[in-house]
Amino acid sequence: MELYSTTAILLRRISYGDHDLIISYFSWDQGKISLMAKSARKSRRRFGGCLEILSLSRLICRKGRGKLCLLEESALQQPFSSLRSDIRKLSYASYWAELLYLWLQENSPQEELYRLLLFVLESLENGSMPPEILHLLFQMKFMQISGFAPNLSNCCCCRKPVSESKEIHYAFHLAGGGPLCSSCREKQPGPRVLLSKGSGNQLRWLGNSPLETAGRLRFSPQSVKESQHFLEAFLPCHLGCTPRSLQFLQQLRKEGFPFS
């Protein structure tokens, strides 16, 4: 049976029977892959720390007769160990992992999304950017690469540019994927989120800039708060579900990340 190797980040693991695990990885050259790790629950030594969520490992896999390939060997390359000791970091990163797990197709490479995940995990690990800013960056880039970035420039109904409005805030229409100008606001039914023009411009800049320059942008605490609120409403609306890890993150945030 054929062997292959790849480098991948662990997105999700679930128990299978008494001894095994089914693990979903994000591989740089194969996209999402699901593997069976035989006896992983029986012997912790067999795969070492490679089975921690969001760890980066080199894998050797075997294509079997069944649908799932088998994980034969793994070598840990980057454990991102600060996630294990910081509930704030872990709760943000778990949400990013779940979004990718829900969005990615099996065996369909997504190199740009892989580079994005690696960048935000490395930045989280080395502390070069606060988790809240990485969270905004990840969501904007994720939507842009995946083809459903929000329109933050024109009224989604009449196309009037937002820049022509004297209003400081606009009502973002979730289903329409864009803001509503004052004339169209009453005509369009459906949920909307209030967003200031300044925060909208900053988010647009984050989405359009190279990853390496994203840290230059300074968000005020108020702008972080309303941008979070906006993205965490818009993204699940277009994904068609609310990830469980988002509810967990929002609950912890409300409690002020009590275990940090």
158 touches Zn ion (CB under 5 A): yes
Verify binding: residue 182, Zn ion, rule CB under 5 A.
Answer: no
CB of 226 to Zn ion, least distance (A): 21
The stretch near Zn ion (CB under 5 A) out of 4-12, 24-32, 66-74, 176-184 is 176-184
Select the residue interacting with Zn ion from 70, 145, 157, 217 (CB under 5 A).
Answer: 157
Binding part of the chain for Zn ion, among 13-21, 57-65, 114-122, 155-163 by CB under 5 A, reads: 155-163
Shortest Å distance, C-beta 159 to Zn ion? 7
Q: Do residues 168 and 194 touch, judged by C-beta distance below 8 A?
A: no
Contact 177, 195 (CB under 8 A): no
Can residue 87 be called a binding residue for Zn ion (CB under 5 A)? no
The yes or no reply on residue 10 touching Zn ion (CB under 5 A) is no
* Residue 184 found at the interface with Zn ion (CB under 5 A): yes
155 in contact with Zn ion (CB under 5 A):
yes
Q: Is residue 156 part of the contact set for Zn ion (CB under 5 A)? A: no
Neighbouring-strand partners of residue 7: 58
Distance between CA atoms of 257 and 46, rounded to whole angstroms? 34
The one segment of 6-14, 127-135, 153-161, 249-257 that binds Zn ion by CB under 5 A:
153-161
Q: Sheet harboring 178-180: ordered strands across?
A: 178-180, 169-173, 192-196
DSSP state of 127: T
- Tokens representing 103 are 């969005």
181: contact with Zn ion by CB under 5 A: yes
Q: State the nearest-atom distance from the C-beta of 156 to Zn ion, in Å.
A: 8
Report how far residue 61's alpha carbon sits from residue 225's, in angstroms, rounded to the nearest whole number: 43
Q: Tally the C-alpha atoms within 13 A of residue 27's C-alpha that lie toward its C-beta.
A: 22
**In the chain, what's the furthest Cα-to-Cα distance?**
66
- Report the interface residues with Zn ion, using CB under 5 A: 155, 157-158, 160, 181, 184
